Structure 1
């Protein structure tokens, strides 16, 4: 990134693990926020060492975690319908950042030939217990071998953004589809909670995307944006966590109201809390 094209945007704290503070800088050309300083790859893992990092566990200890898994179960079916609808039938699927493997398990029940990547040892271990043999990275996967690649809230975590996009290009079949879901820092809930917005999640989230950023970044590698869809539930989930970070407790009523307002305002602005981007390889 060209430092001359960066401008200060916001300062945030890691509320999950370290309580360290990080600065978000905006790349004016890409309309992308960058977490600074970026932990090196050797130390990044320590920021995921928390029982509260819900995507790496199957825990259902609290009301919040139980609600998360209810919504997750509903969303899994919707995701499989989405990918099947792209080609009209099941094909070869790679899920990067597969977590504990539930999405791949659901896809396999619907005739998809599945492959998954998950770098976290704990999450990969839970997936193995479900019969899912996940890879730790994509290095040994053959080129041009997948009809669909999915990254559900994963792209914001990758240390080298351009290298990851180039690798996605390598793995996709010609005319293959890429599905990317990421938070949107231009949403109403992001603007309302500011530095307390849970989806900044520094420093685990190294990049913070706008619609413009996704289009520009993938265009450069010949992967074209075809459609953008909202993730309606994300505004409620993120607002619950944001309330906890801001006020020390999950105010369900207030969080629901902000989540509702965010979705309502997004009907006009098209700036939802999170988006699904459907991209197609040339």
Structure 2
């Protein structure tokens, strides 16, 4: 692997990290990878594990989130051929599962953060702390919404997750795309690098290659259009110390327009099925 760029943890520790490029897979790897990752999640700034609405950015995040939940449940509904059983890995505070449950899905969720699980429990959605609690079960759909990039021991984690998938089920993986225009524009300030919480940084080629080694075939890719705007707003703050909403909006829009032609959106959803 060769050096790709240097970046830092802007939201919690301020520590610097290097991203190395695996040229064969077209995947970036965070170095060093801390042994104690938990301390890097212990911050109110880590919004996916909170329901904070303190800042303007928080409020925007949650406004978009409502639409995204509806869209995600519609998406997985297209792949429930015989039963509507759903496992969400990295379920956060449970909002996606609650929305899916309200639309007829039988749901289970895994979330390692105790704080997030407690917040989910307040909403009447019980989550478990790791995959061992659902071992032996089978699910028609398994989702990882911006989770794969966080998983240590990646190949073994993928193997365990796939063991829970029905033979004709689908795996839905959403991850940032380091080949997007906003990533190239912001470089080391790109918020979606989010080191060291993000251990791996994927491209389409990386997802396709990594899952092919687990006998999974990529059947569809979908862009997450809102992510370019949200990530650009955070990136502007990291780069300049200011929100710069107009500039961030322009960069996000520019990234999305180019993605219409090259498919390189800021974040992508990958639909994968077991090879026949």
Band of TM-score, shorter chain: over 0.9
Query: 1:38-91 CA distances to partner (integer Å, 9 max, x unpaired)?
Result: 011xx1000001111101111111111111000001100000000011135751
Is residue 234 from structure 1 mapped to residue 232 from structure 2 by the alignment? no
The 3-state SS of whatever aligns with 1:136 is coil
Runs ≥4 residues deviating over 3 A: none
Distance 1:219 1:181 in 2: 17
Query: 1:79-121 CA distances to partner (integer Å, 9 max, x unpaired)?
Result: 0000011135751100000000000000000110000000011
Residue in structure 2 matched with residue 176 of structure 1 by the alignment? 169
Task: After superposing the two structures, state which structure 1 stretch, 48-57 or 88-97, moved more.
Answer: 88-97
Distance 1:252 1:90 in 2: 43
How do 1:52-201 and structure 2 match up within 5 A?
52-87=45-80, 91-143=84-136, 145-201=138-194
5+ residue gaps, structure 1, are 1-5
Contact 1:90–1:111 (CA<8 Å) still a contact in 2? Answer: no
Distance 1:269 1:192 in 2: 16
Of 220, 245, 267, the residue aligned with 2:238 is 245
Contact 1:127–1:133 (CA<8 Å) still a contact in 2? Answer: yes
TM-score, normalised on structure 2? 0.98
Contact 1:144–1:174 (CA<8 Å) still a contact in 2? Answer: no
Residue in structure 2 matched with residue 8 of structure 1 by the alignment? 3
The 3-state SS of whatever aligns with 1:72 is helix
Of 207, 213, 229, the residue aligned with 1:214 is 207
Contact 1:22–1:203 (CA<8 Å) still a contact in 2? Answer: yes
Is residue 33 from structure 1 mapped to residue 28 from structure 2 by the alignment? yes
Query: Post-superposition shift, 1:143?
Result: 3.3
Query: 1:218-237 CA distances to partner (integer Å, 9 max, x unpaired)?
Result: 11111111000000000000
Distance 2:81 2:168 in 1: 14
TM-score, normalised on structure 1? 0.96
Residue in structure 2 matched with residue 3 of structure 1 by the alignment? none
Query: Post-superposition shift, 1:160?
Result: 1.1
